[in-house]
Amino acid sequence: MQIEVMASSPTYGGAGSIDLVGEFLLEGLAPVGEAVERIEVDLLLTATPEAPRDTYDDGAHEVGVVVGVGLVVDPDVQAILDALAEAARDGMAMSPGDAGWGLAHEQERQKGPSLVFRRSARRVRVRVVSRLSELDVFGSEPRPATFATAAREIVDGLEPLRQRATKGDDLDVATLLAHLEARLAQLPETDEDLHTTLAPLVAERLERWAALSPWDVVDVDWSLYAPEARTLLDDPFFWDPADDEAPHGSDTGADVLAEFLDQRPRDPLAFLESQATGWGFDSLAELGREEPEEHDTLIVAAAFAQLKVTARIDSTLGEMAMEALGRRTGDEADATDDLLVSALANATERA
């Protein structure tokens, strides 16, 4: 069993300084059954600091990603926001202080906490409305108070699992929750204790990562897709959520796949049009004129989304995707381009 912790705010997303809370909570857990393989926790952070923590210095103005037990600091927040603003389309740019900034995130918080047990996928999804802020999680190295707050909120968020699980589930919920409560009594209280606690967890994580197969790394939830999809796209590259060259590895590609999974449209061409208009363009054609790269990324992502979800591809969409790939690669196609073209060609032949 794993507990994967992610945090989100109006500006940032990731695990930040609470990256290892899940490993800490599960350390020493006895077998509790096979019904749950992964618990996915989404902490919805506040936009302003609320949880007790030490005073922030210059680190409060920087965004970092926790690696191991240290902080790797990226360019400062303002530089990131400036780059995003410059890249945004006219009329769509937003930054802190603009009307509407953070509205969607706050609406998610207003929905309240939730727990969903997806038995077929052996996963539990937990939404936590957190007291922690984005500065707590993304503006500092791990701190005992922040780490403890996240741990307690996660354990509280898992309490509804007592009602969601049934006698038919191979899951000893009582033992699981009792273990988590016991771990809360062992939370480190000082910076030194926290560092000592996290160091072996980092080592264990690196050891697990080194032993993962390429398919383990991409970690696909196959219950979302057609049974034949893995056979049709039998290379981890197609499913990689972090490779920008993969169909759904870029931000745009990931968003398109999420929308396709949510809508499961019967008419993929209408889906393309709705995506384009949703991005602020009058039509898909206008998107192609104004933002040709985004246009082609949308088409390729939609084609592979349909292939993953239905194990088939609309002939017109397939042709559009092949043309988009041709424009993208030109005369400099590489191995990944060949994989994409070959998969589309095979799928189109089957259509």
Domain region containing 304: 217-350
Statement to judge: residues 235 and 135 lie in one domain: no
Structure tokens at 296: 């082609």
Q: Which of 343, 291, 294 is nearest to 322 (CA)?
A: 343
Q: What is the pLDDT of residues 93-119, one digit of tens each?
A: 445 555 566 778 888 898 999 999 988
pTM across the whole model: 0.63
Task: Give the whole-number percent of the chain exceeding pLDDT 90.
Answer: 48
* pLDDT computed for residue 63 by the predictor: 33
Statement to judge: residues 28 and 155 lie in one domain: yes
Structure tokens at 236: 């981890």
Q: What is the pLDDT of residues 269-322, one digit of tens each?
A: 999 999 999 888 899 999 999 999 999 999 999 999 999 999 999 999 999 999
Q: What is the pLDDT of residues 320-350, one digit of tens each?
A: 999 998 887 666 667 788 888 888 888 876 6
| Residue 309 · residue 227 · CB < 8 Å | no
Statement to judge: residues 7 and 25 lie in one domain: yes
Q: What is the pLDDT of residues 148-199, one digit of tens each?
A: 999 999 999 999 999 999 889 999 999 999 999 999 999 999 999 999 998 9
- Considering its fold, how many domains does the chain have in total? 2
Q: What are the backbone angles phi and psi of residue 56, rounded to the nearest 5°?
A: -90, 140
> Rg for the chain (alpha carbons), in Å?
22
**What ranges in the chain are assigned the alpha helix state H?**
21-26, 77-87, 103-110, 134-138, 144-157, 161-164, 173-184, 191-211, 214-218, 229-232, 251-263, 268-278, 284-290, 292-310, 315-329, 335-350
- 241 vs 243: CA distance, rounded Å: 6
Residue type, 190: T
Statement to judge: residues 319 and 177 lie in one domain: no
Q: Considering 180, 211, 242, which residue would you say is the last residue of a domain? A: 211
- 224 vs 120: CA distance, rounded Å: 10
Query: How many Cβ atoms are within 10 Å of 78's Cβ, its own excluded?
Result: 12
Point out which residues pair with 64 in neighbouring strands. 73
